[in-house]
Amino acid sequence: MAFRIGMLLFPDIMQLDMTGPHEVFTKFPDTEVLLISKTLDPVVAGGGMRILPDVTYGDCPQLDLVCVPGGGGMNALLTDEETLDFLRGQAQGARYVTSVCTGSLVLGAAGLLKGRRAACHWMSREMLSAFGAIPDPARVVMDGNVISGGGVTAGIDFALTVAGELFGAEVAKSIQLGIEYNPQPPFEAGSPETAGAEIEAIARSAASARQSERAAAVRAATETV
């Protein structure tokens, strides 16, 4: 039987959180990858890309790996009981429970990260503590059957890590080579530590409204527990 991976879709998703790992997952041997949403209507990602789900929550079979990407739209999921119940149910039978970027906050809101180390986008990482998780700055974090990737592009590292876990290093390396994943960024600005205080301040300022909304959503989610 094929290994079955399900990736959550929602409005205003950060599409690279999903499409980066998806590109890797679809190259796994004997693996089915499903995109899951509340309905089969197209999902509009942040930036306007329209993505078509494969199955709804109600029609989704038991997954071997469930993955929650991040993005601005995940704020609303923190108090969305339909989504949280779906994740709790899938987590009971899944071999791996996973996330990319701020998707780990959704796993936290579902009660799936208590006492677990988890990664998140650097700007929201400390919010994991509100759900009893242990924020970890690593690009990919494994704690038992929970595997989480840091912000956005870390999703590719995360998926290759999963490939190595499931199929061994040789398969993972061949996938990496096939997609020519050989990052050589033109600037050393991929983390606050390398970007410096001035660039960090600019990034934080640009995201201030979203982060305020996220902090409020986290408070609302913890108040309902």
The DSSP line for 128-189 is GGGGT-EE--SSEEEETTEEEE-STTHHHHHHHHHHHHHH-HHHHHHHHHHTT-----SSS-
Instruction: In whole angstroms, give the CA distance from residue 151 to residue 100.
Output: 7
Indicate the length of the chain as a whole number: 225
Q: Annotated catalytic residue: which of 60, 67, 101, 120?
A: 101
User: Tokens for 32?
Assistant: 């089915």
User: Tokens for 160?
Assistant: 């290759």
Catalytic site residue 101? yes
Cβ neighbour number for residue 29 with a 10 Å cutoff: 11
Crossing angle of helices 154-167 and 15-25, in 10° steps, is 30
Catalytic residue numbers read: 101
